[in-house]
Structure 1
Amino acid sequence: MSDAYTFFKEGKPGYAPILMLHGTGGSEEDLVNIADFLSPNSPKLGIRGRLIENGRTRYFNHTEDGGFDLGSLDSETDWLLKAIQESFAEHNLDPAQAIVIGYSNGANVAAYSWLNGKDAPFRTAILFHPMLLTDATVTSGLNDVKVWDSYGANDQIVSPQSFLALNSSLKVAGAQVTSFQHQSAHKITDDELASAKEWINQINSNV
């Protein structure tokens, strides 16, 4: 059994499970309302990052100078992927069928796992305000990966260069990427949710 703090909500049979990965300072339950809006019939499973940095939960740490701690990123991604496998097995769900809903810190670690050969079981994701954390080591093999992601023109955390670099890396590796941009900041807007819901409905209808 996983040592992760998790949240689980039952869904209806036949619907893809939702894996919820929160933003900095969040919890395993943070994205439940968003997940319910985007895919109301799906079972939902959230996993909390196990690190605390400056009093806020995270999936990986920063260095003292504010950069990404790549050692922490690597080891904590391994921990998260193991926790996903164990938690999904506990609820008799297939992580290969999961749709990730990730925001900021959680979205970043999901994308990192794909682009750095971490053998992530999930192949579909809705990523709110992600960025490229480090140069990708994977340049192929993501042909079965489908991503919807979003960016705010006034985002104070994610630069347009980092967002575009992430999308470029995903596409080079073969992923199908649909992007949504708005004029707001580092927050999830109603317009984003409407676009993400339209996308996930198309995904579900093609399963």
Structure 2
Amino acid sequence: MTTDIHSAFFPGKTNLAPILMLHGTGGDESDLLPIATFLFPEHPKLGIRGRINENGSNRYFIRHKDGTFDLANLAQETTWLLHAIEIETARYQLDASQLIVLGFSNGANIAAYAWLNQPTSFKTAVLLHPMMITPPKQAVNLEHHRAFATYGDLDPIVAEDNFDQLTQQLTDAHADIKIFKHHQSHHLSQAELMAAQSWIKTL
């Protein structure tokens, strides 16, 4: 595990909210660029790579061989990621308070976990196929936070009741959550991206 921050920055119009790209397992800092470009064509885009390596695949936190998660590592890596966001947004002169997170799978998971467990600079997120890792230890107020969250009913990784638990936790914390469910597996579809695009236009 390295402490180095691997990031990629793609400039855009400086008056538009910067997009923070958080990849899925096996992705990297530029992995979501095609999706980010589709959803936010003219926005500046910043990707930060997770620093956990699982059998050659990049991740944001440790998953054990039996499929369970290392919760101590999750907390540690969330703190690291939030610090990395501070460093990289300052480096590229981006307004961290205006960040919109675009997270897929593992990246969406850590973004949602961060909201429920630690103070974050970002208040808007597109969470593609997220899951609840662990319930928050204490109540949190996510008023003025908003997210678009997607689920596929053929998903072999995320159970529907798990997804529903996550979105309910966010809603109970007063976040404004728009849910999109579709007949698909744990991958991105044109239908969900079009729905995300429609939601983004309401921001």
Q: Which amino acid aligns with 1:69?
A: D
Q: Which amino acid aligns with 1:5?
A: H
The farther-off stretch of 136-145 and 42-51 is: 136-145
Q: Which residue of 2 aligns with 1:24?
A: 25
TM-score if structure 2 supplies the norm length?
A: 0.96
Q: Which residue of 1 aligns with 2:171?
A: 171
Tell me the alpha carbon deviations over residues 105-142 of structure 1, each in whole angstroms, 9 at most, x when there is no partner.
Answer: 000000000111x1111000000000100012343410
Is 1:121 aligned with 2:110?
Answer: no
Contact 1:77–1:113 (Cα < 8 Å) also in 2: yes
Alignment of 1:1-207 (within 5 A): 3-116=4-117, 118-203=118-203
Q: Which amino acid aligns with 1:17?
A: P
Between the aligned partners of 2:36 and 2:138, the Cα distance in structure 1 is: 29
Between the aligned partners of 1:169 and 1:104, the Cα distance in structure 2 is: 18
Between the aligned partners of 1:176 and 1:139, the Cα distance in structure 2 is: 16
Number of aligned pairs? Answer: 201
Contact 1:3–1:83 (Cα < 8 Å) also in 2: no
SS in 2 for 1:202: coil
**Which ranges in structure 1 are unaligned for 5 or more consecutive residues?**
none
> What displacement does 1:28 show?
0.3
> What displacement does 1:64 show?
4.0
Please give the root-mean-square deviation of Cα atoms over the aligned residues, in Å: 1.1
**Which ranges in structure 2 are unaligned for 5 or more consecutive residues?**
none
SS in 1 for 2:102: strand
Contact 1:100–1:122 (Cα < 8 Å) also in 2: yes
> What displacement does 1:94 show?
1.2
Contact 1:18–1:43 (Cα < 8 Å) also in 2: yes
Between the aligned partners of 2:82 and 2:165, the Cα distance in structure 1 is: 24
Contact 1:138–1:173 (Cα < 8 Å) also in 2: no
Q: Which amino acid aligns with 2:161?
A: Q
TM-score if structure 1 supplies the norm length?
A: 0.95
Percentage of matched positions with identical amino acids: 47
Q: Which amino acid aligns with 1:133?
A: I
